[in-house]
Structure 1
Amino acid sequence: MTVDVEVHTTIGRPRPQVAAYCCEPANITAWNANIRAVQRDSPSPVEVGSRLHFTSGFLGRTLEYTYEVVELVPDERFVMRSDRSPFRMETTYLWSDDENGGTWMTVRNRGEPTAFAGLAAPLLATAVRRATAKDLARLKSILEAANLS
């Protein structure tokens, strides 16, 4: 079963601020409701090759997996990939400037979440899309309310 979901939002903050916040593992649990914990398996700062161990809850299951950063273009693109069960997924964050000085952000999740093999792909894709949209709304709210310099 393959899932490929893309969700977008506009955030009223400059792209470097949005990207910096999203690429800091310590911030992930604040805006991603399903992520319970993130542990660095590599020293700071996050760079290509960095490994991040995630504990998450999704659709009633607790999942543990490690993402490796496979691409990082500062303020433009951040790609993490886990190629082991139970969560063979790639997550991509893309940032671009919008016409009002804010940031157009895309989150794409694609792969084969083997932990949910009994669930039909369209149902799983809907659940992933819904969760990602809520996470982006939470991120937007946090960043637009924050006093970032």
Structure 2
Amino acid sequence: MPTVERTFTVNAPIEKVGPYLADFAHAEAWDPGTKTCTPLDGQPVQVGSRWHNVSEFMGRETELEYRLERWEPDHLTLVGENKTVTSTDDISLRAVDPRTTEITYHVDFDFHGVASVAGPLLKPALEKLGTDTEEQMKKVLPTI
């Protein structure tokens, strides 16, 4: 199971970063692979909220259903699934000071069926996606 992890700081307070990332519809702004991310529930964001995510990875479009599994002021977990992969995005937050947040973004990719054979081969592309996501978060989060 390939994993990707990045730890970095952003110039935004933890009180804004957590709720912003918990609303996965915002992935359109901070995740370079996401093309669209639409809420499925029509309710305020809470544990159990779901989104339909359309992403592009290595030139191919894929659709996943994400749900917010955990949401605490300093920790959230989003799980995306389709028949090929389960992606678990585990995000830890730490206030460095009142205006700066350290983010540890850890993603596990559990490929299913035939795709499980390709999982280890995708590691370089997943690492690039991790780097691109970090850079995009550093640009977007200070503007929230």
Q: What is the RMSD computed on CA atoms of the aligned residues?
A: 2.1
Q: Which runs of 5+ in 2 are unaligned?
A: none
Q: How many matched pairs?
A: 143
Q: Name the CA distance, whole Å, in 1 between partners of 2:119 and 2:60.
A: 16
Query: For residues 89 and 120 of structure 1, do their structure 2 counterparts lie closer, same or farther at Cα, with a shift above 3 Å needed?
Result: closer
**Counterpart residue identity of residue 34, structure 2:** I
Q: Which has the higher strand share?
A: 2
- Deviation string, structure 1 residues 45-85 (Cα, Å, up to 9, x no partner): 22111111111010122111111211111x31111123542
The 5 A counterparts of 1:66-145 are 66-73=65-72, 75-98=73-96, 101-114=99-112, 116-119=115-118, 121=120, 123-144=121-142
What amino acid sits opposite 2:48 in the alignment?
Answer: G
Q: Which amino acid aligns with 2:17?
A: V
TM-score (norm 1): 0.83
* Cα distance in 2, alignment partners of residues 38 and 24 from structure 1: 10
Normalising by structure 2, what TM-score?
Answer: 0.86
Q: 1:16-55: CA deviations, max 9, x gaps? A: 1122222223321111110111111113322111111111
Percent identical among aligned pairs is 20
Instruction: Give the distance between the partners of 2:129 and 2:84, measured in 1 at CA.
Output: 18
Per-residue CA shift, 1:78-115, capped at 9, x if unaligned? 11123542221211111111257411001111131348
Please report how far the alpha carbon of residue 116 of structure 1 lies from its aligned counterpart in structure 2 after TM superposition. Answer: 4.3
In the alignment, structure 1 segments of 5+ residues that lack a partner are none
